[in-house]
Structure 1
Amino acid sequence: MTTSSTTSPTTSAEFPLSHRQIMVVVFGLMTATMLGALDQTIVATALPTIVGDLGSLDQLPWVVTAYLLASTASTAVYGPISDIYGRKRTYQAAILIFLLGSILCGLAQSMPQLIGARLIQGLGGGGLLTMGFAIIGDVIPPRERGRYAGYFGAVFGIASVAGPLVGGFFVENLTWRGIFYINIPLGFIAFITISRVLKKNLTSDVKNRIDLLGAALLISWTVALLLWLERSRAWGWGSPTSLAVLALALVLIAAFIRHETVSEAPILPTRIFRNRVFTVAGACTFLGGLGLFGAIIYMPIYLQIVKGQSPTLAGLHMLPIITGLLIGSISSGRLITRWGRYKAFPILGFAMSGIAMTALSRIDADTSAVYYSLAMLLLGYGFGNTTQVLVLAAQNAVERKDIGVATSTATFMRQMGGTFGIAVFGSILVGTLTTSLAAAFPTGPPAGVSADRLTGSPAVIQQLPDVARIPVIDSFIHAIQTTFTWAIPVLIAAFILSLFLKEIRLAGRDDVVATAEEPAPA
């Protein structure tokens, strides 16, 4: 009887929410996470229509880049801020910033207005991508987080892959402005849900003020580095502009590291990188984002150019990845909760992803839908076993006061990996395509076909006479095969690194209670 009377209050104090309340909170968090991930890719299929409405073709890439820069740069800042000022308030602020940006995007009457609104939207999106799992870390014991990690991994992956499909639906059936307005009701649902159920503004034991200089330096070097990655293909990698931006990024990184080592309240504590589990998990997250996001984003090019599918149909043919993500994320999460162990899952995930990428590196014009669908299913399943499991490992390796910064840093590494991958593999694809087209057409490619625009115009390519169309498609096939081939060693490196991930047992609710009941040492 004594044990019972002491256990209940302890459990309530450490993790006070009931299962029903947790499920309501998770629903709100996943809704917001879905919005943040969806808006990274949803504009892709709407870009031609947006240009037709607003003009300014030369500014078109900034519609995507602005959101990517703002969301990635702010991701690493939200965790430390929430450690000091509270998860609930920080998360609510992120939702409101995101909704403000969404409204302004829908109201934009010119391309500069849209780009500015996307920057605001990205500042909020960074919080949506990172704060959800930080809150989960506060209200759920480590062992039980596995199940919810699976849900979040599935939502993030599905939203990232489904973005172009959703965007295509709005453009073809409604209006491009709808891809931004749809965020408003969903965002308010997330905001109200968190406000009603999460009564306590959870904070860590940290009482220092926010390191404003550290935050400014972190955002500055991230923006400079991402700008170099995103725009150097257009500038030319060896151009003075590209080299100047890279030099600026390196100087800012050095200044940031120097500042963080001497700051009394660093925005990104260097001590967490001395934690081997955290460092290995972060490195695996970066390589996984680089290899998986960086390569698979070009799969729709194969489906549209080589297979001649419409954007909507190409999006539907990406469903095997979504299916694999669902199965991998949810099953791994449930097994982690049951077993209390996590190391096997990223090892399995990276191994399967490497096998799937090897299969995709061999696709050509005669490849059947069954073949590439099975390869994408396996890739999605592998990815589902890695993304949120590694965040869970990073959380479990640090003290509870550092959960916010650990979660945001791990998410930041994934975002940076994906951005690096898009830039690196994009350059590989364009470079290979340029060489192949030059070999096939010594006097220049047919009108409407451009390596710099990646996809050229699918409709134009399909209407070319066979004597021109077949060499163009063959050039695209060679470029896509080369891109996927270069992704294989990245995933192999992630697999090898995951073998060195030390496993720390995940504590359950009973362990927390038992620890709390132990008498203090004399």
Structure 2
Amino acid sequence: MQIIFGLMLAILLGALEQSIVAVVLPEIALQLNGFEEMAWVVSAYLVASTVVTPIYGKLSDLLGRRSVLSFAIVLFFLASIACALAQTMPQLIIARVLQGLGGGGLISVSQATIADVVPLRDRGRYQGYVSGVWAVASMAGPVIGGYLAHYLSWRWIFWINLPLALLALLVVRRALKHLPAGGRRHRIDYVGALLFGGGLTGVLVFLTRLGQGQSAATPQTLGLLVAGMAAMVLFVWQERRVADPMIPLDMLRVPTVTICCITLFLCFFQLIAMSVLLPLRFQVVGGVQADSAALRLVPLTLSIPFGAFISGRLMTWSGRYKPLQLAGSLVAPLAIVALAFVDPHAVLLTALVMVMLGLAIGLQLPSGLVATQNAVPAHQVGVATALTAFSRMLGGAVGVAVLTTVLIALLRHGGMGIADLAGGEDILMSMFHRAMAGGDAGTSADAGAVRAAAEVAFRTLFLLSAAVSLVAPFLVARLPEATLRGSTSVAASMD
């Protein structure tokens, strides 16, 4: 339990930093005079943490979990200081990149360490705890950030990381001292790591720029995509020729690993996108304020760890994972279709559908991770775990970027149908302001027209999202079923 406590602290640090900043972005942009770069304060952390996740997994297999996780915590600690002391928006964005480089290791290495100390048969239960930490971070992050910014300063959302990081480092160093320190001979593939990091960064930044409404035809944006894809092609060539690749491509030939990574990608594609789009729909179509929209997302946030807890318990009892993944992958697209047609003013019915979606996603998270760990040799558990974490984070980054880009296009098209919105004012901003307008006679008709156009856009978007989710059950149907192993060598040696 001491080990699990330290790992939960590390995961909490990495997960909390993804949500605590969003609510105070306007105040940060106002003080640092950087409204144009405001979105990059969030995107910089997300892109950096996604890129380094598989690299941390490989390094922890080679060098040992304790040293690699300690490095990630120290880097996160130092980057948090840099964030708190930033005087300009570019300084803050660079510090957030460094913080993401540490945050990616906090999550992936902690989950791999759980695989070292918990038998496979019981691992689903502990992965349920991990999902619970994610849910707590998702709910508590905006609240904590709002209170700290209101009563102290936005800089305290970074200062608060320091005591938590020091406590996590102390517990991890003490609790993991008996774990193997990575004794096998190794040669780190630095070229592969650089190609992978550079290529994926280019692609993710390209998608992020699209999600922020920038045109794909500009030379800078298109150049990012071309350079990123070229680096990824070179990365594949590099990994096939080296003896000890950074990411073993042969692992992706294992059907269980490939299918589980794709299904986890789709889970977070939907989860992160819905976490962003649903509150926006509640505001634009339902006419509620930002705080109420955030509260209405709670049923989705709470049901995910509950579904993960159920999944972990059932895996411990039955030793099987495929039925859980199949049930979750079948229910998720149905729930998204239901969200498309449920009136956002119907609070109770919307909450019930969100609970159904959250349970479906929760069933797949621990079962996909444990199935992947069960399908690879013990010495590759770290990189396999990092691949699942990478798939989840990549799904979230791609989901937000792609669906936000589609939503912007749909809203612009819908706004063009309203004659008096086709002037010089930006159509999206005009639609948002009119949808949130009061109920006086002069504005109620405009608000009603805008909300109707926006509802058509959101409904179309949700149906497209559900169509993407339909890929998962077809893949899971081909997933090989294997009984979970009763123990791991490390766990058995610690009994």
TM-score with structure 1 length normalisation? 0.88
Q: 1:116 aligns with which of 94, 114, 123?
A: 94
Q: CA deviation at 1:28?
A: 1.7
Q: CA deviation at 1:177?
A: 1.9
Partner of 1:378: 356
Partner of 2:83: 105
Runs of 4+ in 1 over 6 A off after TM superposition: 461-464
C-alpha distance in structure 1 between counterparts of 2:82 and 2:384, whole Å? 32
Are the equivalent residues in 1 in contact too, given 2:435–2:451 (CA < 8 A)? no
- Is 2:390 aligned against 1:412? yes
- Is 2:22 aligned against 1:30? no
- Once the two structures are superposed, what CA deviation does each residue of 1:237-296 show, in whole Å capped at 9, x if it has no partner? 233333222111111111000000001110001121121111111111122222332234
C-alpha distance in structure 2 between counterparts of 1:173 and 1:445, whole Å? 41
- Is 2:152 aligned against 1:167? no
Q: CA deviation at 1:201?
A: 4.4
C-alpha distance in structure 2 between counterparts of 1:493 and 1:461, whole Å? 42
- Is 2:320 aligned against 1:349? no
- Is 2:460 aligned against 1:473? no
Are the equivalent residues in 1 in contact too, given 2:431–2:450 (CA < 8 A)? no
Are the equivalent residues in 2 in contact too, given 1:205–1:401 (CA < 8 A)? no
- Is 2:313 aligned against 1:340? no
C-alpha distance in structure 2 between counterparts of 1:484 and 1:468, whole Å? 24
* Aligned positions of 1:130-279 closer than 5 A: 130-160=108-138, 162-204=140-182, 206-233=184-211, 234-279=213-258
C-alpha distance in structure 1 between counterparts of 2:65 and 2:392, whole Å? 21
Partner of 1:451: 428
Deviates more, 1:149-158 or 1:380-389: 149-158
- Once the two structures are superposed, what CA deviation does each residue of 1:218-246 show, in whole Å capped at 9, x if it has no partner? 10111011011001354312333332221
Are the equivalent residues in 1 in contact too, given 2:263–2:472 (CA < 8 A)? yes
Q: How many residues align?
A: 491
Change in CA separation of 1:160 and 1:496 when aligned onto 2, cut-off 3 Å: farther
Change in CA separation of 1:495 and 1:453 when aligned onto 2, cut-off 3 Å: farther
C-alpha distance in structure 1 between counterparts of 2:489 and 2:60, whole Å? 23
Partner of 2:462: 484
C-alpha distance in structure 2 between counterparts of 1:197 and 1:512, whole Å? 18
C-alpha distance in structure 2 between counterparts of 1:380 and 1:185, whole Å? 32
C-alpha distance in structure 1 between counterparts of 2:423 and 2:347, whole Å? 29
Q: 1:46 aligns with which of 16, 24, 36?
A: 24
C-alpha distance in structure 1 between counterparts of 2:278 and 2:149, whole Å? 21
Secondary structure, in 3 states, of the residue corresponding to 1:474? helix
Name the aligned partner's letter for residue 64 of structure 1.
Answer: V
- Once the two structures are superposed, what CA deviation does each residue of 1:3-33 show, in whole Å capped at 9, x if it has no partner? xxxxxxxxxxxxxxxxxxxx22112212221
For structure 1, the 5+ residue unaligned runs are 1-22, 517-522
Q: CA deviation at 1:158?
A: 4.2
Are the equivalent residues in 1 in contact too, given 2:256–2:371 (CA < 8 A)? yes
Name the aligned partner's letter for residue 409 of structure 2.
Answer: G
Are the equivalent residues in 2 in contact too, given 1:83–1:405 (CA < 8 A)? yes
Q: CA deviation at 1:468?
A: 1.8
Are the equivalent residues in 2 in contact too, given 1:147–1:337 (CA < 8 A)? yes
- Once the two structures are superposed, what CA deviation does each residue of 1:388-422 show, in whole Å capped at 9, x if it has no partner? 32111111100000011101111111111111111
Are the equivalent residues in 1 in contact too, given 2:40–2:93 (CA < 8 A)? yes
Are the equivalent residues in 1 in contact too, given 2:24–2:146 (CA < 8 A)? yes
Q: CA deviation at 1:54?
A: 1.0
C-alpha distance in structure 2 between counterparts of 1:380 and 1:495, whole Å? 17
C-alpha distance in structure 2 between counterparts of 1:130 and 1:43, whole Å? 21
C-alpha distance in structure 2 between counterparts of 1:95 and 1:453, whole Å? 44
Change in CA separation of 1:95 and 1:488 when aligned onto 2, cut-off 3 Å: same
- Is 2:477 aligned against 1:505? no
C-alpha distance in structure 1 between counterparts of 2:439 and 2:233, whole Å? 50
How big is the alpha-carbon RMSD for the aligned residues of Structure 1 and Structure 2? 2.5
Secondary structure, in 3 states, of the residue corresponding to 1:235? coil
Are the equivalent residues in 1 in contact too, given 2:421–2:430 (CA < 8 A)? no
Q: CA deviation at 1:430?
A: 0.5
Are the equivalent residues in 2 in contact too, given 1:162–1:315 (CA < 8 A)? no
Q: CA deviation at 1:215?
A: 0.7
- Once the two structures are superposed, what CA deviation does each residue of 1:178-216 show, in whole Å capped at 9, x if it has no partner? 222222222222212212222224345642121111111
Q: CA deviation at 1:459?
A: 5.6
C-alpha distance in structure 2 between counterparts of 1:192 and 1:205, whole Å? 23
* Aligned positions of 1:394-405 closer than 5 A: 394-405=372-383
Q: CA deviation at 1:76?
A: 1.2
C-alpha distance in structure 2 between counterparts of 1:302 and 1:244, whole Å? 33
Deviates more, 1:201-210 or 1:218-227: 201-210
Q: CA deviation at 1:106?
A: 1.6
C-alpha distance in structure 2 between counterparts of 1:249 and 1:274, whole Å? 24
Deviates more, 1:166-175 or 1:271-280: 166-175
Are the equivalent residues in 1 in contact too, given 2:138–2:301 (CA < 8 A)? no
C-alpha distance in structure 2 between counterparts of 1:182 and 1:340, whole Å? 40
Name the aligned partner's letter for residue 303 of structure 1.
Answer: F
Partner of 1:287: 266
Name the aligned partner's letter for residue 137 of structure 2.
Answer: A
C-alpha distance in structure 2 between counterparts of 1:254 and 1:41, whole Å? 33
* Aligned positions of 1:87-102 closer than 5 A: 87-102=65-80
C-alpha distance in structure 1 between counterparts of 2:430 and 2:392, whole Å? 26
For structure 2, the 5+ residue unaligned runs are none
